[in-house]
Amino acid sequence: MKVIIDEDKCVGAGQCVLAAAEVFDQREDDGIVVLLDAAPPDGLHASVEEAAARCPALAIEVLK
């Protein structure tokens, strides 16, 4: 799995962090997503897919 984020699309809703805090964080100044792990381990794949599905701005792309 490879995770790609589009910071320009991100609206700072934080749903990704709630779903997969090991993979996503947010910048303190504006809440924009920060990718912590672009190739998360197998055990986090379901959480990452949930985070992508929850993103209201569709700023997370998951490649399998």
What would the two tokens of residue 13 be?
């809703």
Q: Which amino acid makes up residue 56?
A: P
* Mean pLDDT to the nearest integer, 57-64: 97
Sequence-distant (≥ 6) Cβ neighbours of residue 49 within 8 angstroms: 62
Average pLDDT over residues 33-53: 98
Cβ neighbours around 28 below 10 Å, total: 8
pTM metric for this prediction: 0.95
12-36: per-residue pLDDT in tens? Answer: 999 999 999 999 999 999 999 999 9
User: What is the C-alpha separation between 38 and 25, in angstroms, rounded?
Assistant: 12
